[in-house]
Every structure is written in structure tokens, then in C-alpha cells.
Amino acid sequence: MDVMGDKATLLETGRFVQPADFVQSTGDFVQPENDAPRPEGEFARSEGDFVVDRPGDQDETGEAAEEARQLLAAETGDVEAMSVLGAMLLRRGDLDGAEPHLRAATAAGDRAAANNLGVLLHQRGYADDAAGWWRIAAVAGSAAAAHALGRHHRERGDEPAAEYWLRQSAEQGHTLGAYALADLLEHRSDNRAEQWMRAAAERGHREAAYRLARALDRQATSADEGGADNGVAPGQAMLDEAEQWYRQAAARGHRRAALHLGAILEKRGELKEAGRWYLTSAKDGEARAACALGFLLRDAGDSESAAVWWLRAAQDGDGNAANALGALHAERGETQTAERWYRAAMDAGDVNGAYNLGLLCAEQARTAQAEQWYRRAAYAGHREAANALAILLLQVGDTAGAEPWFSKAAEAGSVDAAFNLGILHAGRGEERAALRWYERAAAAGHTEAALQVGIARLRDGDEPAAERHLRCAAGGGSAEGAYRLATVLDARRPPEPAHELGEPVREKAECEEWYERAASQGHRRAQVRVGMLAAARGDVVEAALWYRRAAEAGSRNGAFNLALLLAREGSEPEAAVWWTRAADAGHGRSALRLALLYARRGELAEGQRWADRAVSLGPGEVAERAARLRDALREELSA
């Protein structure tokens, strides 16, 4: 069962299934994290205008002592102490205690106190009063206040004022101001957004680093889709830079950056490091990373650990992980559990869940339910479900109902559906329409479609085009494609002189290599041809080997040629066995050889019987010789 889900939806990757006759084959805009800046002020010393954080090694006793010291200084009228004490109390959440100190310091002209007073009022719910104090601090040169004021205006919908104040903050080197300005400009699709996003990222803002990486990633994808004349991916430089920004954001704890970094590393084959970043992201709660980690573990052969991470991701609502769990249980024969997880995937909004339910029902011969789930997925735009639905309808004889679904799937990009449409039209004798769909599938790399196009071009006499498509088919693993390509190349070869004993064996021509490739894949006619080429080189042992393989697989010509070799080597009884097998399968030359063999042994009646058979089987030359032999044997018997 070819289960959708897998990595098909992880970071927008995909895959096709291998076709066989009618085949059932098989954004990333990430929301900003919660660490996006919010309106905030600076808990600041008056001269430094920077955020006051409690030192990491300072215990509560030391902080209390510092607070007491600042309180004593504030009571003596020290403006800086008032500002710092107000900031300390504000950080602790003591708004009532902080407010008088901040107001006193503000009245004395401390801009950091004015900014922090704005923060305090904003926390109390007095946004307009807060904006007034932020304006005073921003005019006095506080970058943090300018940032807070810009955020205030943006929340009010006054984008021109927001841009003005955010620009003031950003140009003073304020990291949050640069990020907020980039966010505003990006919202307007302003090209200057990247400049400020880069500035914020360079100053260590992890969300800015992540968003810059995403922008570069998308630009690299677009550039690669445009193609390159020099064989170098045009977006590679941007992708390399994106990786560095992902790495910076991930190192600062950004879980989605860790996910995308893992995906880049996995694509490059650096699975160990990719797994580490997936694990980091998954532990931080990123369901897609847990799902991706599950696939890495599954591919490494650890299905049990993979199931643990898929379960975690599925419980967090990841439909892809639910599909993977469903596939795992289906492989174990636990169909009820598999169905439950496929339904969970569907409930999570993953249309692959409905398709997988269809596959599961089809395997259990629950045709009506399979059709129901295929239809549900197909109506939701699942192209492989549309292809599978068309096949199901075709199997029950509803050709008219199948064709529109094949067309819908093919137009949506299903290579298998395009090939199936070719089969459908060919079955009706609509060769031109069939060729059109075969060519479409072949252009997308479909091996069997390339074979059909090659055969059609041979029929039309367009040998160069035929050879091109046959090479594609043969290179894709088609034994028939390899055989037909070999016959095209073989027909161009000048005749080889007979091999003499003692002569060095010449190098094999390209056609022989393709014959051998087809023969090794079990192609009977190729096996016979390889045997003939070996015999022509004087290598009877190899010739017999290939003839026997073909004969045992049911080839009449293989059996005939093997019998000839055996007869020449003196093994007439075994030769008779193979000629009999070939003659019983309708090979006229084998019947004639049997007639001659029995005639020489004096078993005239048996010889006459095989001569009669050879006359009826032909071809013309054989029938003529067999008739003469039959008549001679009849005269001998009647004498």
C-alpha cells in the first residue's frame, strides 16, 4: 500500500509512486513566535537609557539590600536613585510603590523615568497617558520610548506616526525598534523591510533572524524555479545565507528556526546534526519537528522511537504524524488502529488521511467505502486520490465516470494519471490523444510513458526521437525500453565478420550492453539475443546459459536455440525435450526439427505427426519443408 503522508507534506516535499499499468500513486509561512516584541519600556538608569536586568548571580538578599540603598538615596532627593528604585519596583510588579518615585524622577527631567512611567501607566490600562510620557522621553532621545510610542500608534492604526517613531528608535540602534519597523514595512510590502529586519537580526533579535531566513529561503526557491544557464542553482547563495540566519535564531532558542535548519541539513545528507536540531525543536513543542524526527528515526530502522515522536506530534495536532502512525499500524496489520489515526489526520485538516483511508478500504475489498474516501479526498483537491478513484471506477466498468477524474488528476500534476489517460485513449484506438498524454507523462519522467512514446516514434519512422525516449525509458529501468533501444542501435551496426578461434574477443557494442541489461531484468527476447551474440563470438557456454534462462521463462525461441546447441553437443534427448516444449507452444521450426529427429531414428509415424504439426504452424518456408518431409514419410509408411 502506498500511503500518503510520509514526507509528502513535511516542509512541502513530495514523491511519486512507481507506475504499473493503471497506477495508484502517490507553506510555509510560519506564524511568528510569542517572543515578537510587545510594547514595553526601558527600566533604565538615567544616563544609560538601557534596560535594567537583575544580575544573574545576585540573590534576593542582595537585591533587597540594593533596594534599601537606593531608597535611602532617593529620600535624600537623588534623582537617579528615584529612577532606578522606580524601575526595580516596577520590574517586581509593585506598581503602587514604583509610581511616586518614577513621577518624582520624571518631574526632575529623567527621560528613563518618563519611559518607565509610560510602561507603568500602560500596564494599568491608561494607554493614552502612557503615550504622553513616552513622547516626552522619545523627544528627549530615548530609543526605547520611541519604540514603545511607535507600537502604540500602530495599535491605534496610525501607521504614518508609527513609522516615524519606530524609525527614530531604529536609527538610534534600538533592536526592538528595528524589528518593529521591519514588521510594519513588510506588512505594507515595502522593499525596505529587509534592511531593517537584517539590522535587527544582526543585533541579535532571534525572530528577526528567523524571518530574514524565511524571506531568503523563499527568494532562493523562486530563483531556482527560474532556472540557470550555467548549471549552478541561482538561489544557492541566498540559501546559504538563510541557513546562517536559521542557525543564529535556532541557537537562541527559536524552535521553528531549528525545524527549518534541520530540514536543510537533512536535505544535504547531514542527518546526525539534522536530528539534533529536530530534537531541540521538538522538545520545545514544535510538532512538525517531532514528526520530522520520527521520519529520521524510521529511516534509521528505529520504528519504535519514531512512533513515540509521531505520537507526540499527532497529539499536538500534526496530521502528517497521524498519517505516519496510521501507516505504521497498517504495516503491522493493526487496521483498526491505523484507521483511527487516519481519521485523526483527516480531523487535523490533512486530506491525506481520507486518501489513506481509501487505500486501507481498497486493500480490504471494501470498495464502497474506498470510493467514499477517495471522493472526499479528490473533491478536496488530492490529485492521487482522483487518480485512484478513476482506477476504481474503471475496474467496475464505469469508463465515463473514470475519465473526468483521470483528467482532473492529470491537470493537477499527477504523472500517473496522465499515463493512465494515455492507456485509456489507446484502448479506444485514439492513438493521437493517447500519444499526447504519454508525451506529457514522459516529459515528467514517467518511464513507461517514455517507452510508449518511443514505440510510437519508431512506428512513425522518427528514429532520433524514438531513440531519445527509449533511452529515457531504459535509463529508468524499463526492460522493454532497453531491449527496443538495443534493437535500434543494433540495426545501425555494420555486419561483423565471423569469429575465428584464437582471435581476441572484441569489445561489446553499446547495443549489446542494453541487450544484457534487458536480459538481466528477465526480458526473454533480450535473453535470446544475448545468447545469439555469445554464440556468434564462439562462447557456447554463455549462449546456452542465456537460452536456458529464456526457455525456462517460456520463450519458444530460447527453447529452440537451446535445443540446437544441445543437439550439436550430442545431447539429443534433452534437445528433444526443449523442441517438444517449444513446438507445444506453437513453434513451427521446433516441430520440424522433431519430425526430422524421429525420421532419422526410424520412428516414421511420430515423425509424420510432427511434420503435420509443422505444416499447420508455419511459417511458409517451414510449412513447405515439413510438407515435403510428411509426404516422403507417408510414402515410406505405405510402401
Query: What one-character-per-residue DSSP string does 306-323 give?
Result: HHHHHHHHHHTT-HHHHH
Residues with Cβ < 8 Å from 92, sequence gap 6 or more? none
- For the chain, helix, strand, coil in percent to 5 are 75, 0, 25
Q: What is the pLDDT of residue 635?
A: 84
Q: Which is more confident, 431 or 224?
A: 431
Residues 266-306 have pLDDT tens digits of 999 999 999 999 999 999 999 999 999 999 999 999 999 99
- Per-residue burial over 375-404, b = 16 or more CB atoms within 10 Å of its CB, e = otherwise: bbbbeeebbbbbbbbbbbbbeeeeeeebbe
> What would the mean pLDDT of 458-466 be, rounded to a whole number?
93
Residue 538: pLDDT band (50, 70, 90) is confident
Q: In the structure grid, which three cell numbers stand for residue 255, read together?
A: 524552535
Q: What whole-number distance in Å separates Cα of residue 509 and Cα of residue 493?
A: 9
Q: What are phi and psi of 396, to 5 degrees?
A: -95, 10
The SS3 call for residue 396 is coil
State the DSSP string of 127-193: HHHHHHHHHHHHHTT-HHHHHHHHHHHHHTT-HHHHHHHHHHHHHTT-HHHHHHHHHHHHHTT-TTH
pLDDT over 70, % of the chain: 87
Chain centroid offset of residue 76 CA: 71
**Closest C-alpha among 48, 45, 49, 50 to residue 70:** 45
> What would the mean pLDDT of 6-31 be, rounded to a whole number?
33
Residue 63: pLDDT band (50, 70, 90) is confident
Residue 86: pLDDT band (50, 70, 90) is very high
Compute the mean pLDDT over every residue in the chain, rounded to the nearest whole number: 87
> What would the mean pLDDT of 225-232 be, rounded to a whole number?
54
Q: How many CA atoms lie within 13 A of 489 on its CB side?
A: 18
Q: What is the pLDDT of residue 40?
A: 37
Residue 507: pLDDT band (50, 70, 90) is low
> What would the mean pLDDT of 238-255 be, rounded to a whole number?
95
Residue 27: pLDDT band (50, 70, 90) is very low
Chain centroid offset of residue 18 CA: 14
Q: What is the pLDDT of residue 235?
A: 74
Confidence check: pLDDT of 192 > 90: yes
Residue 254: pLDDT band (50, 70, 90) is very high
The answer to whether 257 and 250 have CB atoms below 8 angstroms apart is yes
Q: Which helix (H) or strand (E) holds 88?
A: helix 79-92
Cβ atoms within 10 A of the Cβ of 411, count? Answer: 12
Q: What is the pLDDT of residue 296?
A: 96
Confidence check: pLDDT of 29 > 70: no
Q: What whole-number distance in Å separates Cα of residue 43 and Cα of residue 191?
A: 33
Q: What is the pLDDT of residue 433?
A: 94
Q: What whole-number distance in Å separates Cα of residue 400 and Cα of residue 395?
A: 12
Confidence check: pLDDT of 495 > 80: no
Confidence check: pLDDT of 388 > 80: yes
> What would the mean pLDDT of 622-631 be, rounded to a whole number?
91
Q: What whole-number distance in Å separates Cα of residue 247 and Cα of residue 280?
A: 12
Confidence check: pLDDT of 199 > 80: yes
Confidence check: pLDDT of 39 > 80: no
Confidence check: pLDDT of 153 > 60: yes
Q: What whole-number distance in Å separates Cα of residue 601 and Cα of residue 594?
A: 11
Confidence check: pLDDT of 230 > 80: no
> What would the mean pLDDT of 460-472 be, rounded to a whole number?
94
> What would the mean pLDDT of 77-96 be, rounded to a whole number?
93
> What would the mean pLDDT of 605-631 be, rounded to a whole number?
91
Least confident piece of the model among 3-7, 209-213, 340-344, 453-457: 3-7
Q: How many CA atoms lie within 13 A of 422 on its CB side?
A: 25
Q: What whole-number distance in Å separates Cα of residue 390 and Cα of residue 399?
A: 8
